Amino acid sequence: MKNSLIICDKREDYGTDWYASIINIRKWSLFQVSVSWNDYPSWSWPYLQIRSGSGDVLNVLFWAHKFGFDFAFISRTWCWERY
């Protein structure tokens, strides 16, 4: 991962993910956000996950039916090439 101010990309795999990463230094990012729209719905209850630690200062994840939203503050930069 090189140093960069903003990284924006789109990924498709059983749905579409749009993500942006702002102020990237080595393997760390100041802000990251992703929005997902999946082809297949989740029939479970909507959920909200708030996490701190394990590579993130703050991470908020919301998921409902086909829609997902993820926000991270001071976290390891997401690397989609690993998946």
* Domain range enclosing 9: 4-82
The secondary element (H helix, E strand) that includes residue 76 is strand 67-76
Q: Give me the sign of the Cα torsion angle 62, 52, 30, 19.
A: negative
Sequential pLDDT tens for the chain (83 residues): 566 788 888 989 889 999 999 998 888 899 999 999 999 888 888 999 999 988 889 999 999 999 999 999 999 887 766 54
* pTM score, whole prediction: 0.77
pLDDT score for 83: 47
Structure tokens at 42: 């989740």
